[in-house]
Amino acid sequence: EGAVLEEFASSLRRKRGPSARVVTMPGDLQDPSEGAEMLHQLIKSGGYDVAILLVTSDQAAFTGQFLTQAPDNLDRMLALNVGATSALCRLFGADMLAAGRGRIMLVGAPQGAGPGIPGASAFAGSMAFVRALADGLRQEWAPAGVGVSCLETAGLGRITSLPEALASTCVSFLAP
């Protein structure tokens, strides 16, 4: 997890140039409210002004028949994909709205775009939440200068080029 973040940061620095200030802070978001709040406080106490927030919500995926999945796995996946995503948007979004600028990119999966997928119903539902949250927040926050996007790419979180793919996407996302 930390190695992927550092590789992503290096890719973003290469694409944005030597003056780019990129800070990565892996955090444990298994308890969404507590983990997101701790990460937010750590960033604020470090004096960082977050102008761009990337939330990779597609990293926790458990599939199989719903009733055969371990309840702990389902709870963890939903806490990360739904709870942590909304907590991070709430905390950092408030800062961005107060500053009148900022960008949030949520990374979801195309499974959330359809009517549901047998064998992946909980995961698809969590990705539908990510998509709907991004769509709603984009409309709510755009007048205040804060942009919200949702990137949906099949298997993005499981390919070896994740850092490069995200860095390229973020550079496009940041372009004036």
- Helices 85-99, 121-141: crossing angle, 10 deg rounding: 10
Structure confidence by residue, pLDDT tens digits, 21-50: 777 766 667 777 788 888 888 888 888 777
* Cβ partners under 8 Å of residue 162, min gap 6: 4, 8, 156
Q: What is the pLDDT of residue 8?
A: 74
Within 17-97, strands assigned E span 52-56
Residue 93 confidence (pLDDT) above 90? yes
Q: What is the pLDDT of residue 133?
A: 96
Give 2-174's CATH code, choosing from 3.40.50.720, 3.40.640.10, 3.90.320.10, 2.60.120.680: 3.40.50.720
SS3 string, 67-86, reads HHCCHHHHHHHHHHHHHHHH
pTM over 0.85: no
Domain locations in the chain? 2-174
Structure confidence by residue, pLDDT tens digits, 117-158: 899 899 999 999 999 999 999 999 999 999 999 888 765 444
Q: What is the pLDDT of residue 158?
A: 46
Distance CA 70, CA 68 (A): 6
Distances (CA, A) of 39 to 22, 143, 169: 16, 27, 24
Q: Kindly state the average pLDDT of the residues 153-168.
A: 51
